[in-house]
Amino acid sequence: KSNVIEILRTFSSEELMLFEEFIGTPFHNKNIKVTQLFSELKKFHPRYYNTELTQGNLYRILAGKGKYKDTYIRNLFSDLYNLAEIFLQYRMIKANSTFKRLLIEELKNRDLPELAEKKIKSFEKEINRIRSRDQEYYQNRAFIFDMKSFLVVDKTLTDNFRKEHLTDIIKFFSLTLMENSFYLQIEEQRVNIKHSFDFINYILEYITVNLADFEDSPLLMIYYYLCLHNLHPEEDKYFFKAKEYFRKHFGLLTKTDKKNIYSVMQIHYINKIDKGENIYNKEYLNFLLEMLKLNVISHKQKDSINLNLYRNILILCTMLK
């Protein structure tokens, strides 16, 4: 029941190998006994259920035949757990753009403008290849503009990229606000609670007036039409427009965005069925089966169907015979 065992159970074979390299590096770990402890534990991966896997046996292997000391084993497990936490943090940061942003910022803080500029140019090329234009894209764009501002402040009094910078911040803000409103709308479907969405109207009005400035952002346009539909559920044209954008740009979106969009779209069918329009039961079932077919069934790394989706499909299949 050790915390570190709970973490190790989630490791893939590749992650197990990487973690072994991680703790074998003196920069991260100088205690050879912690490395030996992991070597013993990994023999029982991934379940870690075995009659031989006891604290007493581990103590004999690691410390010899002396009298068993519980604190010895506890301390080693604690050290291994701390290393596992750092490893997870490193993996998370390394997997997204945070790692590169931190490096650029540190180069700037160390007054190394030439090196920082090189990294910014490389980072900007990488970011510009992202076609879904999600929150992280605009967050990274804003970061790049900020870093450029710091680097040019001593060279010139003009700054020609501020207008584009402001547009990116507005898009980031709009995406974040709409996405969070969806969470509240989904919550309304699960529990007896009502939220006010008046604040979203101002965002939608601004996007509508300046629509041409936003049409280069597929994810934002999907959210825009879904928001319009959720605020005006009688207007099915907004739902179909969102669905059109979703299918057209499906391959560009991240797994998390796909799952979020499917979750929000379910509200359309649920509202129709709640109003007694039972003709939508068949459409709703086909919609859920589409999620299965495209393997958009979970936010987690390991795909497994969640209980609600599993239950809803069974109920609809039973109802429709």
Residues 6+ away with beta carbon under 8 Å from 281: 273, 316, 319, 320
pLDDT in tens, 93-136: 988 899 999 999 999 999 999 999 999 999 999 999 988 899 99
Query: Residue 25, SS3?
Result: coil
Compute the 3-state secondary structure of the chain and give helix, strand, coil in percent, each to the nearest 5.
75, 0, 25
Cα–Cα separations (whole angstroms), residue 212 to 27, 118, 204? 52, 33, 13
d(CA 146, CA 150): 6
pLDDT in tens, 231-275: 888 899 999 999 999 999 999 998 889 989 998 999 899 889 989
Q: Cβ atoms within 10 A of the Cβ of 167, count?
A: 15
Residues 6+ away with beta carbon under 8 Å from 226: 178, 182, 238, 239, 242, 261, 264, 265
E strands, 66-224, in order? none
pTM for this model (two decimals): 0.77
Q: Cβ atoms within 10 A of the Cβ of 81, count?
A: 17
